[in-house]
């Protein structure tokens, strides 16, 4: 019972108060009821309760004042307001002051339990998202690369190892998986980080422009070449050049690029004197270059020059543990940009995004979040808004997705277990040191290792 949710019930009507207390106790909640609202407010302490259910119409201190005082003590506490005199004006006033929900008398025990369950589930999602963001430290995050899934951690560990080795890297993966972010992470964790990172999309320019953009040209090389122009290779001297969609390079450009990789020099268009530079080449593709080599569309010798080290990025559907973190990150960016205060996704909306396949990967998720924030008027992105941009999962019954408690909770548990074990191993089972490194309080560490049945003694 130690993990049961703690619910405070406040109602001056003794019969109803005792009924709510009994119903909640019978369903596994740790519940304490109060007939006097001022006593409840005096005893309330932040962190000691998970939910408050309070009547509105009470003597001495009414429910709206109770709500206001509780929110001063604990802004995150969800509060359900109970009233027999519900009006639109009263509901708006309560919600503006921070109430989570309104429950109108008379009500059945099942309705009370349904509202309580929803409020607790919503609040747990908020708390766990916040804790996850706080716990993402060190090797789990490279600048704007957000995630904690095992597949992403494996990628970042590989990036960390090869960043300092000045060799060519081919980054593969579907469109929208963040290949340029990985290229930037390699550059900014390398010995070249003080110099330029230049990037070009090889599929976005026609052949004639692509060649001049990469290698530059000499004055008079062609009509319109009125002066010498430096190409990206020369501009990136001492740094890194990232070739996105490298599979789209035309054959004549492939030949010139191969010479550069072999000799570290190239010719500007129309120039007979070679230009020598020191540039690291990183490239990326969402196509099958091996097949392109077999089909004669890509030079085999260039392929092996570019693919000295390969880093493959998994699609978002294979790293669903990262979706809540990515969504929270994109929401925060939009809030900052437009001075809004959307707090996150509702539990139902989160289950929907976790069940979706995201064929456009991270880029698609980012675009959907931006579109939702442009339309959402509440505090959380709800299912009606998210359903306008993604196909909803099949349902067992109205309002309940086929994910049940959702893939999110399973992904969260896997991440927290691995993270806690790593902390304990690093700090030789010392809870205080582990909490300090994670930026968490010791009580949270103890609660979580108990939840996941982790024995600190195993890591001494």
Mean pLDDT in the chain?
85
Number of independent structural domains in the chain? 4
**pLDDT score, position 414:** 75
pLDDT beyond 70 at 250: yes
Per residue in 176-197, pLDDT (tens digit) is 999 999 999 999 889 998 899 9
Most confident of 128-137, 425-434, 440-449: 425-434
Q: What is the CATH number for 124?
A: 3.40.50.2300
More reliable by pLDDT, 75 or 308? 308
Task: Indicate whether 164 and 286 sit together in one domain.
Answer: yes
Average pLDDT over residues 367-381: 90
Task: Indicate whether 108 and 173 sit together in one domain.
Answer: no
Task: Indicate whether 427 and 280 sit together in one domain.
Answer: no
**pLDDT score, position 402:** 43
Residue 255: partners with Cβ closer than 8 Å, 6 or more residues away = 299
The number of beta carbons lying within 10 Å of the beta carbon of residue 417 is: 16
Find the domain containing 148 and state its range.
144-314
Q: Which residues share a beta bridge with 54?
A: 10, 81
Task: Indicate whether 303 and 186 sit together in one domain.
Answer: yes
**pLDDT score, position 40:** 94
Average pLDDT over residues 324-346: 89
Task: Indicate whether 80 and 97 sit together in one domain.
Answer: yes
Task: Indicate whether 164 and 123 sit together in one domain.
Answer: no
- C-alpha to C-alpha distance for 330 and 135, rounded to whole angstroms: 18
Ranges of H-type helices in 217-279: 232-235, 251-263
Task: Indicate whether 274 and 399 sit together in one domain.
Answer: no
More reliable by pLDDT, 133 or 177? 177
Q: What percent of the chain has pLDDT over 70?
A: 89
Domain boundary among 260, 281, 314: 314
More reliable by pLDDT, 416 or 191? 191
Task: Indicate whether 125 and 214 sit together in one domain.
Answer: no
Please confirm whether the linkage preceding 106 is cis (ω < 30° from 0).
Answer: yes
406: left (phi over 0), alpha (psi -120 to 50) or beta: left
Task: Indicate whether 424 and 388 sit together in one domain.
Answer: no
Label residue 2 by pLDDT band (50, 70, 90): low
Q: Is residue 230 part of a domain?
A: yes
**pLDDT score, position 131:** 58
**pLDDT score, position 292:** 93
Q: Is residue 139 part of a domain?
A: no
Average pLDDT over residues 421-434: 81
Per residue in 393-415, pLDDT (tens digit) is 654 444 444 444 555 566 667 77
Q: Which residues share a beta bridge with 217?
A: 229, 269
Q: What is the CATH number for 255?
A: 3.40.50.300
Burial 263-299 (b: 16+ CB within 10 A, else e): eeebbbbebeeebebebbbbbbbbbebeebbeeebbb
Label residue 141 by pLDDT band (50, 70, 90): very low
- C-alpha to C-alpha distance for 232 and 215, rounded to whole angstroms: 7
Average pLDDT over residues 29-46: 93
**pLDDT score, position 403:** 45
More reliable by pLDDT, 291 or 430? 291
- C-alpha to C-alpha distance for 298 and 268, rounded to whole angstroms: 22
Per residue in 348-362, pLDDT (tens digit) is 889 899 989 999 999
| pTM of the predicted structure, to 2 decimals | 0.57
- Asked which of 206-220, 235-249, 334-348, 387-401 is least confident by mean pLDDT, the reply is 387-401
Average pLDDT over residues 229-246: 93
Task: Indicate whether 262 and 303 sit together in one domain.
Answer: yes
């Amino acid at each position: 019972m130690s993990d049961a949710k703690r619910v405070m019930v406040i109602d001056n009507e003794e019969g109803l108060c005792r009924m709510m207390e009994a119903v909640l106790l019978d369903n596994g909640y740790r519940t304490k009821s109060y007939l006097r609202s001022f006593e409840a407010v005096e005893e309330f302490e932040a962190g000691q309760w998970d939910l408050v259910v309070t009547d509105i119409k009470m003597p001495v201190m009414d429910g709206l004042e109770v709500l206001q005082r509780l929110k001063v003590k604990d802004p995150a506490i969800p509060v359900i307001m109970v009233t027999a005199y519900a009006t639109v004006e009263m509901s708006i006033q309560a919600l503006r002051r921070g109430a989570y929900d309104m429950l109108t008398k008379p009500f059945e025990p099942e309705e009370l339990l349904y509202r309580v369950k929803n409020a607790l589930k919503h609040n747990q999602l908020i708390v766990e998202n916040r804790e996850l963001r706080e716990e993402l430290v060190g090797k789990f995050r490279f600048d704007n690369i957000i995630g904690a899934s095992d597949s992403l951690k494996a990628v970042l560990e590989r990036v960390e190892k090869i960043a300092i080795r000045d060799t060519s890297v081919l980054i593969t993966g579907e469109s929208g998986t963040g290949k340029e972010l990985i290229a930037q992470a390699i550059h900014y964790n390398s010995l070249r980080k003080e110099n330029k990172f230049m990037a070009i999309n090889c599929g976005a320019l026609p052949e004639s422009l692509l060649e001049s953009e990469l290698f530059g040209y000499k004055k008079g090389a062609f009509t319109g070449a009125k002066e010498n122009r430096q190409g990206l290779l020369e501009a990136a001297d001492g740094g890194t050049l990232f070739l996105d969609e490298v599979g789209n390079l035309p054959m004549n450009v492939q030949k010139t690029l191969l010479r550069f990789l072999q000799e570290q020099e190239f010719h500007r268009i129309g120039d007979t004197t070679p230009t020598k530079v020191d540039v690291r080449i990183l490239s990326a593709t969402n196509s099958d270059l091996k097949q392109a080599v077999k089909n004669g569309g890509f030079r085999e010798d260039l392929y092996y020059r570019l693919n000295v080290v390969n880093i493959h990025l998994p699609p978002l559907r294979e790293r669903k543990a990262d979706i809540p973190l990515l969504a929270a990150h994109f929401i925060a960016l939009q809030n900052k940009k437009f001075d809004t205060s959307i707090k996150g996704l509702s539990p139902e909306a989160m289950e929907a995004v976790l069940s979706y396949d995201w064929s456009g990967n991270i880029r698609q998720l980012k675009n959907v979040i931006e579109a939702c924030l442009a339309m959402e008027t509440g505090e959380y992105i709800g299912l009606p808004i998210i359903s306008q941009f993604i196909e909803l999962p099949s349902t067992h019954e109205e309002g309940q997705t086929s994910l049940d408690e959702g893939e999110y909770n399973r992904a969260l548990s896997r991440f927290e277990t691995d993270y806690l074990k790593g902390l304990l191993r690093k700090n030789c089972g010392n809870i205080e040191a582990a909490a300090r490194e994670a930026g968490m309080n010791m009580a949270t560490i103890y609660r979580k290792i108990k939840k996941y049945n982790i024995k600190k003694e195993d890591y001494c």
